[in-house]
């Protein structure tokens, strides 16, 4: 019998966790032939709610669910984990400065980086969703010296998917017709969704839409989409975020489509002149469980300026948490 794969989810009783746990348990992330054990982590006040999530998971009677662990101890949640989806984070409280938010989360992600280092499977694949996701991933991998930094990624797939949806709507085509979308940089309002290399039904996207639309409509719409969802729903995106997390891990584990690439925030190796070490979103191809940054893309002046602006924000975030990395 196939040994079950251990998948840790932090913040599992939260909005995103409540979507994610069920989709993973039903086989949507690793496929119908891979049994999973879910290892769910929450903070003590949320353990009651987590118990409810565990009960509902069992009630689904998913054939792919081989077990559930519900705990407030990181070492238990990360024990022998093959995948860790770090979703739990401290939300921004009233009157809280961005700097304080960064520091509060830095504490959580340094502790979780250490716990992964000491308890997870040596081949663990980590996806950080909790914000500020890129810098939290940087902190986590710097606190896990025995694990390969390439095992740590942050989520910009939701932004990538939002960009696909906007371009599809504008060109009147399905998202299936689009290839080679890129999301550069930080998961924040400085992110740069880039259609320069995109094709739609094989035609270069820049020849199908005008520059003014890209600059004044497409880019700000994708950058501000999270805020627009909060305004409409009263709470932040959850189902789409969970869906993007599934896409991210599935493609990483099982491979990205051969004729396309995806966007993942990964520790920079200096590609495209981006500072080494920061967790920056690049176009990547995934094969045999590894990601690789797509090389050799031509970068226009317009793109370069935006790629640098989002890099500058990440460098500023890094400087704000220097003591913890």
Task: Output the smallest distance, CB 222 to ligand NAI, in A.
Answer: 12
Q: Give the nearest distance from C-beta 144 to ligand NAI in angstroms.
A: 16
Three-state DSSP class for 263?
A: strand
The answer to whether 98 is annotated as binding is yes
Which residue number is nearest to ligand NAI in terms of Cβ? 14
| 270 in a known ligand binding site | no
Task: Between 87 and 147, name the residue whose CB sits nearer to ligand NAI.
Answer: 87
Residue 31 annotated in ligand binding: no
In the complex with ligand NAI, which residue's Cβ is closer, 78 or 272?
78
Q: Least distance from C-beta 162 to ligand NAI, angstroms? A: 9
Nearer to ligand NAI (CB atom), residue 13 or residue 147: 13
- Distance of closest approach, residue 229 Cβ to ligand NAI, in angstroms: 9
Binding site for ligand NAI (CB under 6 A): 10-11, 13-17, 41-43, 46, 87-91, 108, 129-131, 133, 155, 158, 187, 236-238, 241
297/325 with CB nearer ligand NAI: 325
Backbone angles phi, psi at 10, to 5 degrees: -95, 155
Q: Catalytic one among 82, 160, 187, 197?
A: 187
Query: Mind giving me the DSSP string for 196-258?
Result: TT-EETTEEGGGTS-HHHIIIIIHHHHHTHHHHHHHHHSS---HHHHHHHHHHHHHHHH---T
Is 11 a known ligand-binding residue?
Answer: yes
CB of 129 to ligand NAI, least distance (A): 5
**Known binder of ligand: residue 130?**
yes
N-terminal to C-terminal alpha carbon distance within the chain: 41
Separation CA 56–CA 78 (nearest Å): 22
> Residue 89 or 124: which CB sits closer to ligand NAI?
89
131 is in an annotated binding site: yes
The pair of three-digit structure tokens given for residue 146, joined into one six-digit string: 């025995």
Number of H helices, E strands in the chain: 11, 14
- Locate the DSSP E strands across the chain: 5-10, 36-41, 65-71, 83-86, 125-128, 152-154, 178-179, 182-184, 192-194, 199-200, 203-204, 262-267, 279-287, 290-293
- The CA-based angle 37-40-44, given to 5 degrees, is 155
Catalytic residue flag (residue 187): yes
Q: How many CB atoms lie within 10 A of CB 270?
A: 10
Binding site feature residues: 11-17, 92, 98, 105, 112, 129-131, 162
Binding site feature residues for NAD(+): 11-17, 105, 112, 129-131
Binding site feature residues for substrate: 92, 98, 131, 162
Catalytic residues, by residue number, are: 187
């Amino acid at each position: 019998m196939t040994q079950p794969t251990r998948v840790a989810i932090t913040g599992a009783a939260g909005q995103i966790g409540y979507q994610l746990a069920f989709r993973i348990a039903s086989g949507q992330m690793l496929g119908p032939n891979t049994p999973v054990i879910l290892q769910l982590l929450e903070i003590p006040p949320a353990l009651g709610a987590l118990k409810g999530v565990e009960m509902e998971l069992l009630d689904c009677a998913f054939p792919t669910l081989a077990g559930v662990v519900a705990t407030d101890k990181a070492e238990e949640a990360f024990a022998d984990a093959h995948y860790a989806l770090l979703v739990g984070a401290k939300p921004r409280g009233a009157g809280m400065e961005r700097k304080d938010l960064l520091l509060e989360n830095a504490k959580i992600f340094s502790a979780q980086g250490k716990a992964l280092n000491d308890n997870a499977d040596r081949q663990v694949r980590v996806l950080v969703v909790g914000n500020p996701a890129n810098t939290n991933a940087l902190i986590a991998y710097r606190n896990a010296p025995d694990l390969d930094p390439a095992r740590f990624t942050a989520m910009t797939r939701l932004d990538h998917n939002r960009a696909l949806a906007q371009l599809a709507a504008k060109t009147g085509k399905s998202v299936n017709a689009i290839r080679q979308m890129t999301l550069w940089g930080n998961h924040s309002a400085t992110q740069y969704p880039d259609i320069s290399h995109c094709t739609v039904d094989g035609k270069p996207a820049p020849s199908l839409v005008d520059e003014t639309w890209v600059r004044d409509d497409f880019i700000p719409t994708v950058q501000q989409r999270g805020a627009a969802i909060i305004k409409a729903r009263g709470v932040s995106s959850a189902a789409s975020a969970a869906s993007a997390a599934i896409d991210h891990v599935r493609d990483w584990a099982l491979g990205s489509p051969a004729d396309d690439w995806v966007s993942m925030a990964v520790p920079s190796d200096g590609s495209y002149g981006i500072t080494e070490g920061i967790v920056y979103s690049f176009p990547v191809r995934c094969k045999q469980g590894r990601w690789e940054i797509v090389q050799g893309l031509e970068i226009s002046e317009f793109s370069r300026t935006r790629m640098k602006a989002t890099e500058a924000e990440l460098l500023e975030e890094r400087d704000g948490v220097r003591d913890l990395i």
